[in-house]
Amino acid sequence: MKNTLLGLLALTMLFSACSKNDGDNDPQHNWQLSRIMMDHDTVRFSYNADGTIKQVNEYGSDAGSYSDSLQIIWQNGKISAINEYEGGVAQPDMVFVYTGDQVKEIQHYRDGVLSGAVDSIVYKDNKISEIHYFNNEGVRSYYHKLTWTGNNVTRDEYYAYNFDGTGILTLQYITDYTYSDKPSIGKLAKGDALFWFTMEIVHLSENAVVTSVTVDSITDEGISQSAYTYTYDAGGLLESSKETENDLVSDETTVYNAKFDYIDLK
């Protein structure tokens, strides 16, 4: 269940949305994202009294539709765990381990028990610089190395095995990003919640992504490129987004559209 929901969020939520407070100076209101509507799916958000995300639900609109749900647990203002619902019962999925205010490790569960799989987070200048993924046997499977320009991640280097028998993690892909001056949804949710339960790199950035280009670092050939466009209302509130993704290997183009609704948490 979780993989379906997280995959959808990783795909759609990088489109970005913004709190209505960005375009509405009325202190009587506290508008937050409540729903993302796509061609075939809808994602809904519910909130705690302090404005932190409490639950994320995904609903399919096609025949044989499905429903996936995640519960976000907070402690002392920091996200401490993510549970997924199985048969209506919340089961542990991820636990966050901190050093001070920084997430240093994410421990993963399988069938309600710790699996041994761990994500290890490395920081430089108080920003995430590397994310290492260890499998159930404690072996590092792959990692991301991030380059920052100001407060935005402008390059993501992906390292993995070549399966050539050397047992060495080598650079496989490089993705470069550019940004607008609009805010990223990743910084509008408290505690970087959207990044931690999607692990979508652009949610770490301060601004909304407008282009991404991925290149095979071994062959130096293009893999994919995407362009993102947005529409806003008169007050600056995001109304819709569009991603045009070009697969440079298959020479296919896919367009993803989304519309956004909000809730007043006054």
Per-residue pLDDT, 13: 36
Give residue for tokens 């991925």: 214
| Domain membership of residue 101 as a residue range | 2-264
Q: What is the pLDDT of residue 52?
A: 86
Give CA–CA dist 266/258, Å, rounded: 25
Distance CA 60, CA 43 (A): 9
SS3 for 203?
helix
Q: How far are the Cα atoms of 128, 136, 166, 207 from residue 195, in angstroms, in the given order?
A: 12, 23, 33, 14
**pLDDT for 127:** 94
Length of the chain as a residue count: 266
Q: How far apart are CA 42 and CA 38, in angstroms?
A: 6
Residues 204-213: pLDDT tens digits? 898 989 999 9
Cα–Cα distance, 116 to 119 (Å, whole number): 10
| Number of domains making up the chain | 1
Place of tokens 């970087």: 192
Q: Which pLDDT score is estimated for 5?
A: 42
- Among 123, 107, 125, residue whose Cα is nearest residue 115: 107
* Predicted confidence pLDDT, tens digits, the chain (266 residues): 444 344 434 333 333 334 455 444 456 778 788 888 988 889 899 999 888 889 988 888 765 566 788 899 999 888 899 999 887 888 999 999 999 999 999 999 998 899 999 999 999 999 999 999 999 999 999 999 999 999 999 999 999 998 777 789 999 999 999 999 988 866 656 666 667 767 788 888 989 899 999 999 999 999 999 999 988 887 777 888 899 999 999 999 999 998 988 888 87
Distances from the Cα of 138 to the Cα of 68, 110, 115, 141, angstroms = 29, 15, 10, 9
Judge whether 93 and 82 are in contact, CB under 8 Å.
yes
Which tens digits make up the pLDDT trace of 233-248?
877 778 888 999 999 9
**Report field, pTM of the whole predicted structure over 0.75:** yes
The domain that holds 86 is classified in CATH as 2.40.160.190
